Amino acid sequence: MSERPPSLSDPAQEGARARAHGRPKDACPYPVDSPERRAWLEGFDGAPLDRAPDLPTDRV
């Protein structure tokens, strides 16, 4: 397994940057089922995949 050069941003930051620039979610450059892809998608979505969405705090 090769390591990425430290000068590159981490996959989560890359995913967040891709979303900010209007790139589609399927633009993820990492292989399916890789830890890097999971991190990229978490960055793109702005939340960890294994965490449930936050519920509203105000109850009406």
Mean pLDDT, consecutive 10-residue stretches, the chain (60 aa), reads 55 94 96 95 82 64
> What is the model's pLDDT at position 55?
65
> What is the model's pLDDT at position 32?
95
With left for phi above 0 and alpha for psi between -120 and 50, is residue 30 left, alpha or beta? beta
> What is the model's pLDDT at position 7?
42
**What's this model's pTM, rounded to 2 decimal places?**
0.67
> What is the model's pLDDT at position 9?
76
